[in-house]
Structure 1
């Protein structure tokens, strides 16, 4: 009879060891939304210092024209050139966050650039974000221009 409580105890311990913790806490989600906001601000204000704080060293970016930017220096340089060549108000609105594990998530955002004449370029951006030194950072960016836009 003493084995039944012991077996139940083992079952309880083993099930809790393999149970999944909820990954998308409100705090984590808000930190990621703030990260994307910081990215948008850094692009808008051409703040390379902020960009280098929120991007991982080996970041890569695929822009809507099909150009790859690999590494932080190439990415930041390309972002600054793109902001200069395509001026306008940039808006990134996070639509969804999917946590892959406690240290990685995929973020989908609507990305709009409104130029001086009022024309709005509507795109999508997907970010892969990771924690590095206990801070969320951007590891990869994919910008997409839907057909017909």
Structure 2
């Protein structure tokens, strides 16, 4: 069918979605108590923190207070002049001035974000150097909390303890369902209507709650033309969101998503039934809860470059009012009661 290749290219952009606003930023650690490495496995009550550990925990407390107050100046003062920070996405800052600039930008973009921590260990490498490891959790005003693993190196200079080095990693203990929670707004029905084609999309959780499943149906001039099933999930090896698609004509594809502030940049590639290929770079922005607008660029179909700059919209279809339910009968045991996908 002559319309198939343009529609495959167009659907490359549909098969991806925008995410939430920008990352909360630098996240060193804090906790209520520290567990001494030397006490691990020891019998009897675990000893409390030593005087030296309490000093480090006091710095963590100061960090938390400054972060939760959005005070970039006070927070930067906790860092050494030559401090180095490497975030989990590869962002790298060296020097207190750059750390302060990054923090100020973080607080401007994520006003009201709060930080909480779980310190797993504090170990003194020398009398003037301490290594702290644990987990940090940043909760924005809107959206899910973000958990990361961290390692912080504290050093004592001229009698004052300062943060000299921060390294972050994604938290592997976060289950796939939580990785996808920021996309739960996709659940429901969506519609795109063109001059001669209509695309309907339904999104739901998989039964195990570890994937979002989207089904696409395409009609061309009022007649069924194509259907696609997509799974969106978390790739723990690549440490990013991915999607996998299979269409009714035997084609298949996948997408790799990278966040850029409040946008998602999605690299998508597909193989058509006859063996030709298609690819595109899609830039997505969720403009409203009921509207997604995106631009598809670098589009190549069967080795030929297509024109760039195509803009499309996907609009949420309002839910149909369901049957009236007696509140007294709608208990957790009722088949009509809301359920967690897990």
TM range (shorter): 0.7 to 0.9
Q: CA RMSD for the aligned pairs?
A: 2.1
Distance in 2 (CA, whole Å) between partners of 1:142 and 1:83 is 20
State the shift of 1:36 in Å.
Answer: 1.5
Give the one of 10, 26, 30 matched to 2:50: 26
Which of these residues, 138, 162, 177, is aligned with residue 113 of structure 1? 138
Within 5 Å, which residues of 2 pair with 1:1-149?
26-87=50-111, 88-117=113-142, 119-147=144-172, 149=179
**Per-residue CA distance 1:123-143 (angstroms, 9 max, x = gap):** 112110001121211001112
Rounded to whole Å, the distance in 2 between the matches of 1:135 and 1:43 is 20
Alpha-carbon offset, residue 27 of structure 1: 0.9
1:84-116 deviation per Cα after TM superposition (whole angstroms, max 9, x unaligned): 334522112322101101000111121001223
Q: Which runs of 5+ in 1 are unaligned?
A: 1-24
- By relative contact order (CA 8 Å, sep 6+), the higher-ranking structure is 1
1:56-100, CA deviations, whole angstroms, 9 ceiling, x for partnerless residues? 100010112210011000011112212333452211232210110
Provide closer, same or farther for how the CA distance between residues 47 and 116 of structure 1 changes in structure 2, counting only shifts above 3 A.
closer
TM-score (norm 1): 0.74
d(CA) in 1 for partners of 2:142 and 2:99? 28
Residue in 2 aligned with 1:6?
Answer: none
- Structure with greater helix share of residues: 1
